[in-house]
Structure 1
């Protein structure tokens, strides 16, 4: 089976790629919002935070790829945002009373920027 690289998908169908990125953010944000609204602790909160960590792991890897066609300064800014997300995710996992609001706000802004 042939698997297209992310760069190939973006080159051939950038609108489709952006739509997939938005969908991934929407899914992760939905989990975060649900966990925050329920005041959820334990597995629901861990799964919600894990979803944003997984998303940023993929995005950071792509942003660091030499084949990524985004301007270098934009890639660096997005990697910095991704690293902040990873630190914040670790903090909310280690501090159950910490709100998910910052993760929700930042990632909503990033998702909205994909429009």
Structure 2
């Protein structure tokens, strides 16, 4: 399902604003860089929290935009990306609460979304 979502997203974003996609790519790249630093270690607890909060805030913004009635993406695609975003937020919270130690999944999902832009 995730691969189909990325393909559909890629097809639709080709028609949307280039500058907007560039900003989204930059924001995702920054989040990925922060997550990769955590993956490689060493890091302080504050670094972990700040990095995860950045990713969480970013996806909250994406979800808010996708939830807006004037968003131009098809409803099904919007719902799929919102689902991915909710997973990202949940996983970031699990990492912050030390209920998970797998940062790589977050990195991979964010890369897939960024590269589809």
TM-score range, shorter chain: 0.7 to 0.9
SS of residue in 2 equivalent to 1:83: helix
Shift of residue 109, structure 1, vs aligned partner:
0.6
Gaps of 5+ in 1: 1-9
**Bigger Rg, which one:** 1
Distance 2:71 2:100 in 1: 38
Superposed CA RMSD: 1.7
Distance 1:73 1:42 in 2: 38
Match of 2:39 in 1: 36
Shift of residue 37, structure 1, vs aligned partner:
0.6
Contact 2:94 2:100 (8 Å CA) reproduced: no
TM-score w.r.t. the length of structure 1 is: 0.84
Contact 2:67 2:78 (8 Å CA) reproduced: yes
Q: For CA contacts below 8 A with separation 6 or more, give which structure has more relative contact order.
A: 2
Distance 1:41 1:88 in 2: 19
Residue deviations 1:65-111, cap 9 Å, x none? 00101000100000000000011011101117612111001111110
Distance 1:34 1:71 in 2: 35
